[in-house]
Amino acid sequence: MAHILEVRNLRAGYGEFEVLRDINIHVDKGEIVAIVGPNGAGKTTLLRTIMGYTTVYSGSVLFKGIDITRRKVHERVAMGLMLVPEGRGLFPNLTVEENLLIGAYLEKNPKKISERLETVYSIFPRLRERRSQLAGSLSGGEAQMLAIGRGLMSSPDLLMIDEMSLGLAPKLVLSLFDMVVKLNREHGITLVIVEQHVKNSLEISNRGYVLENGRIVLEGDSRQLLGNEMLKKAYLIY
């Protein structure tokens, strides 16, 4: 199976502040890959580096076999890479539909934009109901649906989602994990998820990486990681 994403010997951070050290990961087409670890481990920085928002000191990022280490963010989006950021990053004074349309800003064909909008509404019927409502008035669960929906509007081949469950009730969290599986199985989207819910993340993913202090300390099949005694103790997985 071909790697859709490959990170090789990566060192990266912000300005002169190094966060990531010697990172090597890969994602195969059709996979769900979970990246877990304690707060401050560098998980968000890793996703932001893959997307092009940080300083890369050495190493490389390849997407679909092409080195994108020095490419601009919009170029990565055009290639099919998208990040749903932690905190959602919505425009609260714009409507649901206006926020979604921003996600398709690189697409110039009105027919394709309309088709993508319909796809998002079919995945998230609640967004169709709220299409004229200001994003700032949505509930936490609805806002996360909108953030993911906006990411889908770019028609990504690889969608990265950072802390989608942050601040949400347990019932909503489970429904979002179900949605991730649906995106993967029914819509063919490859996903990378960074999550505080370690057990749930590993249960729905194919493989996982454990990040601590800016380094990968464990990796492998998600089922094997779930049975790892060190991981069980660290994250109280039972």
**At 90, phi and psi to the nearest 5?**
-80, 165
Provide the pLDDT confidence category of residue 230 given band limits of 50, 70 and 90. confident
Residue 40 has pLDDT above 60, yes or no: yes
Residues 120/121/127/131 CA torsion (nearest 10 deg): 110
Task: Quick: pLDDT tens for 60-113.
Answer: 999 999 999 999 999 999 999 999 998 888 999 999 999 999 999 999 999 999
What pLDDT was estimated at residue 165?
A: 85
> 27 vs 87, which has greater pLDDT?
27
> Which run of H or of E encompasses 88?
none
Distance, in Å, from the CA atom of 50 to the CA atom of 48, rounded to the nearest integer, reads 5
Provide the pLDDT confidence category of residue 237 given band limits of 50, 70 and 90. low
Q: Name the E strands within 17-168.
A: 17-28, 32-36, 55-63, 66-67, 81-84, 158-162
53 CB-contact burial (10 Å; exposed 0-12 / middle 13-18 / buried 19+): middle
CB distance 69 to 7 below 8 Å: no
The pairing of beta strand 207-212 with beta strand 32-36: parallel
Q: How far is CA 201 from CA 29, 87, 165, 178, in A?
A: 18, 18, 11, 11
Domains and CATH numbers, the chain: 1-80+198-238 (3.40.50.300)
What pLDDT was estimated at residue 120?
A: 96
3-class secondary structure, 171:
helix
What pLDDT was estimated at residue 87?
A: 80
The pairing of beta strand 81-84 with beta strand 158-162: parallel
What pLDDT was estimated at residue 235?
A: 66
> 12 vs 172, which has greater pLDDT?
12
What pLDDT was estimated at residue 50?
A: 98
CA 52 to chain centroid, in Å, comes to 14
Distance, in Å, from the CA atom of 221 to the CA atom of 219, rounded to the nearest integer, reads 7
Task: Quick: pLDDT tens for 122-178.
Answer: 999 999 999 999 999 999 999 999 999 999 999 999 999 999 888 888 888 899 999
Contacts of 28 (CB under 8 A, 6+ apart): 1, 2, 3, 4, 190
3-class secondary structure, 194:
strand
Q: Name the E strands within the chain.
A: 3-14, 17-28, 32-36, 55-63, 66-67, 81-84, 158-162, 190-194, 207-212, 215-221
Task: Quick: pLDDT tens for 169-220.
Answer: 888 889 999 999 999 999 999 999 998 888 999 999 999 999 999 999 999 9
> 22 vs 39, which has greater pLDDT?
22
Average pLDDT, the chain: 93
Here the tokens at position 146 are 């909108």
What pLDDT was estimated at residue 234?
A: 72
What pLDDT was estimated at residue 194?
A: 95
